[in-house]
Amino acid sequence: MCQLNNVEAIEKYLRKIDCIIKKKGREILKDYNITGPQFNALQYLIREGNLTIGDLSEKMSLAYSTITDLIDRMEKNDLVIRVRDDKDRRVVRIKVLDKGFEILKKVLNKRIDYLEKKLNFFTEEEKQFLVESLEKLYIAMEREL
């Protein structure tokens, strides 16, 4: 029973931490005139490379039409541009522009600064243990995807 209580506590605190990080993240995004879905799209596009709208739609679990509207708004804000694929001109890929890279970097740095302040009372050993534990959990969960 004790293990189940630990698992329940871990799930509860991960959910609460995720909620706080998302809330703080939305506050940070307001400073850069970018929405949460736009930020998520930038992360996918930078991490995965120049995706098609269909690829991005699948990764973000959003309708194709929703992603099309999202990319339209991001193009208007000079975050991304649509480009024809060199190998197949029928394929259109989404390329992140310099402004998109800059905003992502600034937002992530502010999020890291926020988290760093919250971790000030942790020892270096506690931080290392947390990193290792979260990494183990991530690897175990990622295998199922």
Domains belonging to the chain, first-starting first, are 2-142 (1.10.10.10)
Instruction: Answer for the pair 39, 77: CB distance below 8 angstroms, yes or no.
Output: no
Mean pLDDT of 18-47: 92
- Of the chain, the percentage scoring pLDDT greater than 90 comes to 79
Q: Please tell me the pTM assigned to this model.
A: 0.81
Other CB atoms within 10 Å distance of the CB of residue 52 = 15
- Rounded to 10°, the helix 2-30/36-48 angle is 100
| pLDDT for the residue numbered 22 | 86
User: How far, in Å, CA of 105 to CA of 40, rounded?
Assistant: 13
> Is 142 exposed, middle or buried, given 0-12, 13-18 or 19+ CB atoms closer than 10 A?
exposed
